[in-house]
Structure 1
Amino acid sequence: MSTLKSKAAIDHRICFVGDSFVQGTGDPLCLGWVGRVAQDAVARGINLTHYNLGIRRDTSRDIAARWQQECAARLPADCEALVVFSFGVNDTSIFEGVQRVSEEESLANFQSILRTASSSYKVLMIGPPPMPDSAHNRRVAQLNKQFAELATTLNVPYLSVFEVLRKDEHWLKEAIANDFAHPGQHGYERLAGLVQGWSAWWFGT
């Protein structure tokens, strides 16, 4: 039996958990990168049910408080249960003069979330994307580096998208034109392509 046929016979269910970049805010097609990678997998013959659990403004603290209950309700024991996390930008944002989540807490949340999730599900982590603001970007870059190192110790595949998207002609240009945070159609297409081309992605070419 071919790999494609084998995957088509399996009930794959996948939860994408994170923030507004997971939700796809700013995409006029309302797909974001999540909708695009799910669409691609289905087009390849994968039997897939996907759940977009992205919430605007969510930090790692917010996600730590909700992800288990939300995923448990959508991933029964008799399916191929998959979870993709992506967060971090909101942790590094400044609100009323204070960073919303300290780096120390972000790393603790990251470790707790991924360690617990990987004990029950197949898990991947997508790193935080760049921002148009240079000061904010420095904080995102630092957190991304720390996340990547910690993911290695946890044996969780980690896709760092920060540097590629920082140099992408569409991502930052669309973000500036939109709301100074979120890209549009082309930016999300680029991020979806990075996920689809990643060797750890379950439904790649």
Structure 2
Amino acid sequence: MSDYNPKASTDHRICFVGDSFVQGTSDQLCLGWAGRLIQSAVARRINITHYNLGIRRDTSRDIAARWEAECAARLPADCEQLLVFSFGVNDTSIYEGSLRVPEQESLANCQSILSTATARYKTLMIGPPPMPDASHNRRVAQLDQQFADIAAGLNVPYLSVFEVLRKDEHWLKEAIANDFAHPRQQGYERLAGLVQDWSEWWFK
């Protein structure tokens, strides 16, 4: 369990970095799971500014190339600097007959991103969610476990959400009815709840 105990009076700045699932694509309320977590923190009178740095179709390769500059511009030294990563689904997508990012590159990107981030910021990682496609899910599940191992080796708290959401009544049902990828309001609410209930989440 994290020993971080946020104070309401502290100026907290937090960046959520990742892909369309971080961005909250298809959520009717335009909040996604990240926005819901911040709503909850604000309701607890936490002084917090959040930045959603999720970009649709981004892979770990894309995130590795951009996250440092984007976060440095938003996390000044005179505030509480917090960082949450989530990516991987796009790495495991097949494009023109090949993985968008080869597995070993995905793992190297994750290692590099987390090792650099945790040396500068308080850092968490949320694992990739499931897709409504069995073969894609096998690749996501494998990458999720490998990401978890990398995070553990770096002492970065990691929340795997794959299995819970794979069995959730809303996540895959909403994704199938929507665009065969992204859930809608109830799916994002479920993911936000998983993070909110996690022992490592900062704002209880």
1:99 is aligned to 2:86: no
TM-score between both structures, scaled by the size of structure 1: 0.96
1:9 aligned counterpart, secondary structure? coil
By how many angstroms is 1:8 displaced?
A: 1.2
What are the equivalent positions in structure 2 for 1:23-102 lying under 5 Å apart? Answer: 23-102=23-102
1:193 maps to 2:193: yes
Quote how far apart the aligned CAs of 1:44 are: 0.5
SS in 1 for 2:89: coil
- Following TM superposition, by how much is the alpha carbon of 1:183 offset from its aligned partner in structure 2, in angstroms? 0.2
In structure 2, the residue corresponding to 1:16 is in which secondary structure?
strand
Amino acid at match of 1:27: D
Q: Which amino acid aligns with 1:30?
A: C
Q: Could you report, residue by residue, the CA deviation over 1:64-115 in whole angstroms, capped at 9, with x for unpaired residues?
A: 0000000000000000000000000000000000100011000000000000
User: What is aligned with 2:129?
Assistant: 129
User: Residues 181-202 of structure 1, C-alpha deviation per residue, up to 9 Å, x if partnerless?
Assistant: 0000000000000000000000
SS in 2 for 1:152: helix
Residue 38 of structure 1: how far off its partner (Å)? 0.5
Distance 1:7 1:35 in 2: 20
Q: What's the secondary structure of 1:165's corresponding residue?
A: helix
Taking a change above 3 Å as real, the CA distance of residues 145 and 190 of structure 1, as seen in their structure-2 partners, is: same
Deviations 1:120-145 (A, max 9, x none): 10000000000001000000000001
Structure 1 gap segments, 5+ residues each: none
Cα distance between partner residues in 1 of 2:145 and 2:116: 21
d(CA) in 2 for partners of 1:185, 1:203? 22
Match of 1:177 in 2: 177
Contact conserved, 2:6 with 2:203, CA < 8 A, in 1?
no
CA distance in 2, matches of 1:105, 1:52: 25
State the alpha-carbon separation in 2 of the partners of residues 8 and 143 from structure 1. 36
1:24-47 residue CA offsets vs partner (Å, 9 max, x unmatched): 001011000010000000001100
- Work out the CA distance in 1 between the residues paired with 2:162 and 2:127: 7
The match for 1:115 is 115
Q: Which amino acid aligns with 1:148?
A: A
The corresponding residue for 2:138 is 138
The two structures, once aligned, show a CA RMSD in angstroms of 1.0
Question: Unmatched 5+ residue regions in structure 2?
Answer: none
- Describe the SS at the equivalent of 2:180: coil
1:84 aligns to what SS in structure 2?
Answer: strand
Q: Measure how far apart 1:150 and its partner are.
A: 1.1
Residues 127 and 144 in structure 2, CA contact (< 8 A), matched pair in contact too:
yes
Give me the whole-angstrom Cα distance separating, in 2, the residues matched to 1:38 and 1:7: 15
How far apart, in 2, do the equivalents of 1:123 and 1:12 lie? 13
- One-letter amino acid of the counterpart of residue 70, structure 2: E
Which residue type is aligned with residue 18 of structure 1? G
Letter in 2 for 1:124: L
Task: Give the aligned length.
Answer: 200
